């Protein structure tokens, strides 16, 4: 691994200079690639001034945040029109923690509320792939992956995954993306997609950035009842961890039906690992076949209740209330019809259907049972293996023209390799392993609950490719 830019910066922080350079770069990047919904230049310099006064040693590493994370005094839209005026009065816990050592540079583009795999369901902008502007960045944390790949200054990105929203864009853009164990990072201040699945994680250009960022954001928070109390770990020290006794399982059935070039590229990554570890063996996880339908039932059932609060009264989008606004139901329907995008509406309808009396047992409860079995299957695999490996996505980043022809079901099927580990709440890391032509391919590494260290230890053997200067 080459020297980490983030590590270099931390050894010798120069926040003012780095911030100036960052915003100079961002202007060019935003014009061509649109990774941001909001650029927070003014706030950034104000924050720096305040922090430097308090502590002249302030590190001030630039970080970006996916726009579903609440940021005090800064527009927070979750990619949706319905939140086009929402300015939170508080910071999410992960933001608050990072602001102690870093500077927020902007809020990154995402599919509306996280609904998508390509970042084209964003009301404000559609980030372009750093390797080919005619291709998507992946979703839903597309803006985070885009800026992580393109920015030359040291930077880490806060992102979020429900069913693969960190791994997918990290794979399509060629960066590291960590989705931590469910409950390791506080979700307080996150605009929920599906509470039982949402995880706040990180993207960075190198594994050190991921490990360092996790040190900052992981840890108990009384404001999130699902956040787990555990002893603090120093994740950066695992970069040096000896992996020679590690056993890696390659999930054979995750290769079925994937693009043959992607398959080859992923095997190059696995061979690299093989050179360092004790054993690399194939394994089957047959229950993963049921993960996709289970995920879309559980996630959408939660969506349909979570989105009920967006009725134009307490949050964001509001019509002028006048005599034409009608009664409550008419007003409520008008706001939701105008404020939600097509995919959000589809998911509200589907989720409501799954929860209906009579269907609950048939779909929702069954999906929960499958989820429990999936956890068991992973747990069994981790008795034998320290890490499981598979492709992250079945394809390289597709062109906008290609995805325009996909049906919603075909779009959902893109997530088939990432939903099972997300349902199980285990940590996962996308590492950029090879390129197919000019396009990056990601290798997906999975570990048992709270075994992020195994992922970090293997992550060190990989490097993000550098796209051309913007």
Question: Cβ 420 to ligand GLN, closest distance in Å?
Answer: 12
- Looking at the Cβ atoms of 164 and 440, the one nearer to ligand GLN is 164
Is position 294 an interface residue for ligand GLN (rule: CB under 6 A)? no
Q: Does residue 237 have an active-site annotation? A: no
Total Cβ atoms within 10 A of residue 28: 12
- Chosen residue from 115, 290, 378, 385 binding ligand GLN by CB under 6 A: 115
d(CA 92, CA 190): 6
User: Nearest approach, Cβ of 110 to ligand GLN (angstroms)?
Assistant: 8
Catalytic entry in 4, 165, 186, 294: 165
Min dist. Cβ of residue 368 to ligand GLN (A): 17
Indicate the angle between helix axes 15-33 and 41-54, nearest 10 degrees.
170
8 Å CB contact between 213 and 351: no
**Catalytic (active site) residue 64:** no
Q: Which of residues 61 and 210 has its CB atom nearest to ligand GLN in the complex? A: 210
Q: Applying CB under 6 A, what is the total number of residues that bind ligand GLN? A: 13
Contacts with ligand GLN in 137-176 (CB under 6 A)? 140, 161-165
Q: Out of 79, 88, 116, 459, which residue is the one contacting ligand GLN (CB under 6 A)?
A: 116
Q: Which long-range contacts (CB under 8 A, 24 or more apart) does 408-413 make?
A: 408/343, 408/346, 411/116, 411/117, 411/118, 412/117, 412/292, 412/296, 413/292
Q: What number of CA atoms fall less than 13 Å from residue 137's CA on the CB side?
A: 34
- Rounded to a whole number of angstroms, the distance between the first and last alpha carbons of the chain is 24
Query: Based on CB atoms, which residue is closest to ligand GLN, 22 or 418?
Result: 418
Per CB under 6 A, contacts with ligand GLN among 173-202 are 193
> Cβ of residue 412: shortest distance to ligand GLN, in angstroms?
7
Would you say 107 or 453 has its CB closer to ligand GLN? 107
- Nearest alpha-carbon partner for 143 in 64, 213, 74: 64
Catalytic residue, from 117, 140, 186, 390: name it: 140
Does the annotation mark 165 as catalytic?
Answer: yes
102-108 and 36-39 as β-strands: parallel, antiparallel, unpaired? antiparallel
Nearest alpha-carbon partner for 237 in 265, 258, 215 = 215
Phi, psi values for residue 218, rounded to 5°: -75, 150
| Ramachandran angles phi, psi of 360, nearest 5° | -50, -50
Contact 177, 170 (CB under 8 A): yes
Min dist. Cβ of residue 122 to ligand GLN (A):
12
Region of residue 183 (left: phi > 0; alpha: psi -120 to 50; beta: else): left
Q: Which is nearer to ligand GLN, 350 or 458 (by Cβ)? A: 350
Rounded to a whole number of angstroms, the minimum distance from the CB of residue 416 to ligand GLN is: 10
Binder among 65, 203, 211, 299 for ligand GLN (CB under 6 A): 299
| Chain position carrying tokens 């922090």 | 51
Per CB under 6 A, the list member of 34, 67, 415, 448 interacting with ligand GLN is 415
Q: How far is the CB of 117 from ligand GLN (least distance, A)?
A: 4
Nearer Cβ to ligand GLN, position 9 or 115? 115
> Which position among 35, 88, 106, 114 is part of the footprint of ligand GLN (CB under 6 A)?
114
Pick 93 or 140: Cβ nearer ligand GLN: 140
Quote the least distance from Cβ 392 to ligand GLN, whole Å: 13
Interaction residues for ligand GLN, span 332-391 (CB under 6 A):
none
117 binds ligand GLN (CB under 6 A): yes
- Distance, in Å, from the CA atom of 212 to the CA atom of 206, rounded to the nearest integer, reads 10
- CA–CA gap between residue 337 and residue 349 (Å, rounded): 13
Retrieve residue 78's tokens: 């979750």
- Which residue out of 5, 51, 66, 126 is catalytically annotated? 66
Reading the block at residue 159, the tokens are 């992102």
**Residue 288: helix, strand or coil by DSSP?**
helix
Closest CB to ligand GLN among residues 115, 364: 115
Is residue 80 part of the contact set for ligand GLN (CB under 6 A)?
Answer: no
- Rank residues 117 and 430 by Cβ distance to ligand GLN and give the closer one: 117
Contacts of 183 (CB under 8 A, 6+ apart): 226, 227, 228, 425
Q: What are phi and psi of 384, to 5 degrees?
A: -100, -35
CB 177 → ligand GLN: shortest distance, Å? 11
Catalytic sites, residue numbers: 66, 140, 165
The residue ranges that bind ligand GLN (CB under 6 A) are: 114-117, 140, 161-165, 193, 299, 415
């Amino acid at each position: 691994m080459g020297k980490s830019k983030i590590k270099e910066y931390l050894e010798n922080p120069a926040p003012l200079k780095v911030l100036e350079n960052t915003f100079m770069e961002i202007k060019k990047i935003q014009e061509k690639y649109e990774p941001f919904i909001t650029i927070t230049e003014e706030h950034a310099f104000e924050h720096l001034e305040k922090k430097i006064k308090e502590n002249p040693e302030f590190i001030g590493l630039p970080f970006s945040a996916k726009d579903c994370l609440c940021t005090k005094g800064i527009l927070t839209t979750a990619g949706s029109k319905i939140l086009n005026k929402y300015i939170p009065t508080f910071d999410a816990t992960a933001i608050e923690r990072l602001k102690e050592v870093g500077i927020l540079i902007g809020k990154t583009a995402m599919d509306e509320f996280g609904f998508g795999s390509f970042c084209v369901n964003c009301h404000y902008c559609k980030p372009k792939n750093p390797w080919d502007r005619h291709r998507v960045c992946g979703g839903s944390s597309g803006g985070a992956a885009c800026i992580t790949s393109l920015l030359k200054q040291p930077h880490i990105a806060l992102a979020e995954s429900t069913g693969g929203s960190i791994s997918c864009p990290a794979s399509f853009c060629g960066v590291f993306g960590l989705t931590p164990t469910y409950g390791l990072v506080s979700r307080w201040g996150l605009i929920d997609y599906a509470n039982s699945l949402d995880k706040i994680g990180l993207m960075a250009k190198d594994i050190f950035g991921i490990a360092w960022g996790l040190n900052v954001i992981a840890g108990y928070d009384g404001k999130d009842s699902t956040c787990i109390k555990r002893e603090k770990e120093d994740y950066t020290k695992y970069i040096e961890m000896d992996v020679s006794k590690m056993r890696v399982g390659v999930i054979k059935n995750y290769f079925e039906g994937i693009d043959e070039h992607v398959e080859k590229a992923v095997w190059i990554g696995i061979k690299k690992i093989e050179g360092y570890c004790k054993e690399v063996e194939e394994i089957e996880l047959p229950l993963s076949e049921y993960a996709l339908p289970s995920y879309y039932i559980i996630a959408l059932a939660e969506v349909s209740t979570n989105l009920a609060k967006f009725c134009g009264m307490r949050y964001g989008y509001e019509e002028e209330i006048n005599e034409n606004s009608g009664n409550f139901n008419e007003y409520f329907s008008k706001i939701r019809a105008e404020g939600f995008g097509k995919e959000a509406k589809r998911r509200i309808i589907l989720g409501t259907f799954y929860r209906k009396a009579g269907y609950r047992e048939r779909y929702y409860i069954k999906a929960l049972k499958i989820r429990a079995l999936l956890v068991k299957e992973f747990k069994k695999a981790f008795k034998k293996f320290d890490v499981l490996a598979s492709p992250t996505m079945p394809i390289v980043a597709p062109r906008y023209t290609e995805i325009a022809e996909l049906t919603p079901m075909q779009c959902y099927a893109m997530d088939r390799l990432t939903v099972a580990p997300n349902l199980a709440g285990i940590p996962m890391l996308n590492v950029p392993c090879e390129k197919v032509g000019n396009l990056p391919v990601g290798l997906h590494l999975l570990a048992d609950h709270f075994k992020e260290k195994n992922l970090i230890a293997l992550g060190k053997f990989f490097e993000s490719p550098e796209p051309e200067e913007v």
